[in-house]
Amino acid sequence: MQTDTNDLEQARTSLSALGFTGLEAEIYVFLLQESPATGYRAAQALKKPVANTYKAIQSLQKKGAVVVDEGENRLCRPIPVEELIGQISRNFKRHQERAELLLKDLTSTTYDDRIYQLQTVEQLFERCRTMLREANKVLLLNIYPLALREIRNDLLSTIRRGVEVHALIYQPTDLPNANLVIHQQAQEILNLRIGQAVTMVVDGSEILHGLLTNDMKEVQQAIWSKSTFLAWNNHRSLLSEIKHSAMISQVLAAQNYLEMRRVVTKYQESSLGTVPGFNQLAERYQGGRKAAG
């Protein structure tokens, strides 16, 4: 069966994304279709210089992507696709772990009050996932349905670690052990169709604000910062909004004045306890004196 030209091109492109040169990708794809073959045969079929083709085959051998018969004809065979991808995955994980260890040692511990722009959807959600992994005490969220779906599994992992999660949401959803409050104007806000938004505040010390297109394919605007001053103020603001929406829902459901009063009193007294971001702020601007948040 003849392979579509577009499929061949996509296959070669996928290999290039995994670290193969253009010629290496072409040779591997060719060998998948016509194996075994000599380097000379591959050069002829691909219309590439013979010397360059043999050099690329040697490189593919070092990468473990092809094997070469030591006989007179030096026939080349590709290793099976599953084996190749397995090798690449293991090598990548090994290099990833080593890079993480080495780069962490270089990370500065100084304060960074700058605000950074996030440009892509992938960058935005990867930053969200990093924030969720690094959360220690409390996470506050204001998040639209599709954005919530994107990070739901990561949120569940964060909750399982014992981090308090308090979220202002716009549709009913199942997120066990999280305090979920539906925004009082949820449907009205969603009907505006301005996009899919997410606001995340971690431990009162790190913030992310993002607005994506409705189809979640582009970032309209997104920022991230570890400014303790901005994060703590965002924490207080979002916490107040979550508490206000919860209080309004319960007040409207109350049967009498005394019940309404108990609801209001409860939310006036409720607290999430000491928040790391507030202590960081106190240490930084009050000569090292810590305070409760």
Task: Report pLDDT digits (tens) over 92-129.
Answer: 888 888 888 888 777 655 678 899 999 999 999 999 99
Q: What are the percentages of helix, strand and coil residues in the chain, rounded to 5?
A: 55, 15, 30
Task: Report pLDDT digits (tens) over 34-88.
Answer: 888 999 999 999 999 999 999 999 999 988 899 998 777 889 999 899 998 998 8
Sole residue written with tokens 């959600």: 125
Task: Report pLDDT digits (tens) over 235-292.
Answer: 888 888 888 887 777 667 666 766 666 655 655 554 544 677 777 777 777 754 444 4
The Cα–Cα gap between 281 and 272 comes to 17
Backbone φ and ψ of 211, nearest 5°: -130, 115
Q: What pLDDT score was predicted for residue 72? A: 78
**Is-contact 219 235, C-beta < 8 A?**
no
Q: What stretch of H or E contains 74? A: none
Alpha helix positions (H), 135-184: 145-160
**88 bridge partner residues:** none
Backbone φ and ψ of 115, nearest 5°: -110, 130
**Is-contact 121 218, C-beta < 8 A?**
yes
Taken in order 278, 283, 287, 293, the sign of the CA dihedral is positive
Supply the angle between the helices 22-33 and 5-17 in degrees, to the nearest 10. Answer: 130
* Summary mean pLDDT of the chain: 85
Going from the C-alpha of 154 to that of each of 129, 131, 161, 267, the distances in angstroms are: 6, 10, 11, 28
26: pLDDT confidence band, cut at 50, 70 and 90?
Answer: very high
Q: What pLDDT score was predicted for residue 292? A: 41
DSSP letter assigned to residue 64: T
Q: Is 139 exposed, middle or buried (0-12, 13-18, 19+ CB in 10 A)?
A: buried
**Is-contact 12 25, C-beta < 8 A?**
yes
Instruction: Provide the CA 168 distance to its chain's centre, in angstroms.
Output: 20
The Cα–Cα gap between 248 and 236 comes to 18
Q: What pLDDT score was predicted for residue 274? A: 67
Amino acid identity for residue 155 in this structure: L
**Is-contact 80 91, C-beta < 8 A?**
no
Task: Report pLDDT digits (tens) over 219-240.
Answer: 999 999 999 889 988 988 888 8
**Is-contact 227 210, C-beta < 8 A?**
no
Residue 208 burial (CB count, 10 A): 23
210's tokens? 């993002």
Domains and CATH numbers, the chain: 5-98 (1.10.10.10), 115-285 (3.30.870.10)
